[in-house]
Amino acid sequence: MSLLRKLLKLDFQRLFNGVLFKLALGVCAILGIWDLVLNVQAHNANMESLQTQTIAYSYPSSVYNSCISADGLYLPSILLFSLFPLIVTLPAGISMATDIKNGYIKNLRVRKEQKKVILSRYISIFVGAFLLVMAATFGQMVFSMMFLPTIAPEIASYTFPMMAVGQVGHSFYAVHPFWYLLLYNLYDAVYLAGIATLALPFGWYTGNPFIALIGPTAVFYFTGFLFNTFSASQWEPSCILPPYSDVYLSLPIMIIELCGLLAISVLLAVTCAVKKHDVF
């Protein structure tokens, strides 16, 4: 077994067996179930009202506008996207700084190459965050299909915000809502995984678990503040990530921002790999 594979196996075991990963997954599950309960109650109330109408003036709920990533109306959905940077950083954000302080990284570097240690940690953080986001969004949507109808969107109902003219991919959503939400969830997962990996340089250079945990979230919201200050709200991460955002979004801008984030993330990880860092 290669050296990198051994390190990856060790890092993934520590990540998935760790309490913080299970805690982050539990928070996502609680928010997802809470949102589902609220939407099922709203759907049942809507169906009861439809039975008494001689002329229907409302449209039945669908999982494609009631899952947590397409909701945007109830508190659990708003909380999830507000807390996402912190949630995805929680499992590995503290571990890097803690491993430096307790000498774990130093012990690894005695026997392993520093570059491979950093690469292994970067991959494990990225994959862990990616899986958390997909479980919280796409996983919740699939689970919700057991309780909510999967009817196609109807633009005349005005109950599907992703169909608004100007919303990125609105015509694709109208025809393929499942694939639209899956692709959007994948975009969110990669974006937030890139945010989570910023914990690596924060922890490496400061050795402070709190800064390693809070740093990526602070960067996330400070970036949004800068974009908003310069009247570029369509670049704000908090506007881009929720599929139901009412801000006009441009697909090229979304791709450019994602690529820029990943480039910065990789560059910072490279500086950690090449810079000697004595740990005591």
Over the stretch 161-186, which tens digit does the pLDDT of each residue have? 666 656 777 788 888 889 999 999 99
Indicate the length of the chain as a whole number. 280
Give residue 280's pLDDT band: very low, low, confident or very high (50, 70, 90): very low
Q: What is the pLDDT of residues 1-39, one digit of tens each?
A: 588 888 889 889 988 988 999 999 999 999 999 999 999
DSSP letter at 162 equals: G
Q: Is 222 in contact with 235 (CB distance < 8 Å)?
A: no
Q: Could you tell me the sign of the dihedral formed by the alpha carbons of 178, 182, 183, 188, in that order?
A: positive
Task: For the chain, list the strands marked E by DSSP.
Answer: none
**CA–CA gap between residue 221 and residue 235 (Å, rounded):** 12
Residue-level pLDDT at 141: 95
Residue 53 has pLDDT above 70, yes or no: no
Residue 140 has pLDDT above 60, yes or no: yes
Look over the chain and give the mean of its residue pLDDT values, rounded to a whole number: 84
